[in-house]
Amino acid sequence: MPTHIWLNGKLVPPAQASVSVFDHGLLYGDGVFEGIRCYNGRVLKLRTHLRRLFDSARAIRLEVPYSIDQLDQAVRDTLQANGIRNGYVRLCVTRGVGELGLNPFNCDNGVTFIIADHIQLYPRELYESGMRVVTAATVRNHAGALSPRIKSMNYLNNILAKIEAIDAGVPEAVMLNAQGYVAECTGDNIFIVRKWHGRDTLIAPPLHAGMLEGVTMNLVIELAAAQQLPFHQFDLTRHDLYTADEMFLTGTAAEIIPVTEVDRRPIGSGEPGPVTRELTAAFHELVGNDAPED
């Protein structure tokens, strides 16, 4: 439990970190957020996360009342105040207090808050043995209705798919878009590995499939390039997942976690594959030694 929350420019005890019941962030999910990791006191890709936050806010015409530099320092202050060198940060910006109608331009007193804590998204043993997932019946929000590249506070679409995963007795679910192509999981991006022209090749859905452009996803793509591992993005079906040699998920909270079964079908050998293990090792070496902050 954190001892301090950064709220509108001040570090306060959690009991004093309150948001009005009239805030449109609560009433309508009208706001944006970022989840951020720190390793050994270094905040992984902090500036990249902050730029994405501002892009999300700009897309929904939400004015962030602080600069990137100010929020950069605020994240560091919050981590220091809670004595966290290895942990997780949640940075949120709400539209603010408004009326019970939808008009966002009647809102004022927008709230910016930062929580620093520890997180363990999946049981540690699954990182070694791999995890089972299912395909959700809940379709990913249509990209023409709400861009998946906006990391908004409205996650009901993802939550409904997460409920399906829990009901199926697994930790995560694959979400398809309206055309039936693979988009992402409820909180993670998806990669598969297949032989392509005789070489192990990393493959992911394209952005237009309806996924959030993940910071950890892009970092893994960089690590793959450093290992001269070919990478492609194109539309994937469930059949592509079922017949993959390897599969893994990436996310800020999840890091890199192997998937060994989809819809009761084993992936590859049914165990985490060599490419997944190599990329995971490269990721942990990177963040353990000198996590890039930009």
How would you classify residue 137: left for phi > 0, otherwise alpha for psi between -120 and 50, otherwise beta? Answer: alpha
Portion of the chain with pLDDT greater than 90, in percent: 95
d(CA 69, CA 146): 28
Per the prediction, the chain carries an average pLDDT of 96
Q: What is the pLDDT of residue 197?
A: 86
Contact of 153 with 33, CB cutoff 8 Å: yes
Q: State residue 193 phi and psi, 5-degree precision.
A: -125, 130
Half-sphere exposure of residue 260: CA atoms within 13 angstroms, side-chain side = 14
As a whole number of angstroms, the distance between CA 51 and CA 69 comes to: 11
Query: What six digits make up the tokens of 224?
Result: 């793959």
- φ/ψ of 51, rounded to 5, equals -65, -40
Q: What pLDDT was estimated at residue 209?
A: 94
Percent of the chain with pLDDT over 70: 100
Strands of the chain, DSSP E: 5-7, 10-12, 31-39, 42-43, 87-94, 112-117, 131-135, 172-176, 182-185, 189-196, 199-204, 231-233, 246-251, 255-262, 265-266
CB 237 within 8 A of CB 181: yes
Check residue 43 and give its pLDDT: 98
Point out the residues that are catalytic: 151
Q: What is the mean pLDDT of residues 57-66?
A: 97
DSSP class of 102: S
Report pLDDT for 243.
Answer: 98
Distances (CA, A) of 49 to 122, 138, 162, 270, 289: 22, 28, 24, 34, 20
Angle, CA of 258, 121 and 112, to the nearest 5° = 130
Cα–chain center distance at 107 = 28
Q: What would the pLDDT profile of 65-107 be if each residue is shown by its tens digit?
A: 999 999 999 999 999 999 999 999 999 999 999 999 999 999 9
Q: What is the pLDDT of residues 8-50, one digit of tens each?
A: 999 999 999 999 999 999 999 999 999 999 999 999 999 999 9
* Digit-coded pLDDT (tens) for 275-292: 999 999 999 999 998 899
Q: What is the pLDDT of residues 100-143, one digit of tens each?
A: 999 999 998 889 999 999 998 899 999 999 999 999 999 999 98
Distances (CA, A) of 274 to 11, 193, 251, 253: 45, 10, 20, 22
Secondary structure percentages of the chain, helix, strand, coil, to 5: 30, 30, 40
Domain architecture of the chain: domains with CATH: 5-117 (3.30.470.10), 124-290 (3.20.10.10)
pLDDT of residue 221: 98
Say if residues 246 and 268 touch (Cβ distance below 8 Å): yes
Q: Compute the average pLDDT of residues 234-241.
A: 97
pTM, two decimals, is 0.95
Distance from C-alpha of 38 to C-alpha of 163, rounded to nearest angstrom? 29
Per-residue pLDDT, 289: 87
Average pLDDT over residues 156-183: 98
User: How much is the pLDDT for 1?
Assistant: 86
Looking at residue 143, what DSSP letter applies? T
Res 111: pLDDT: 96
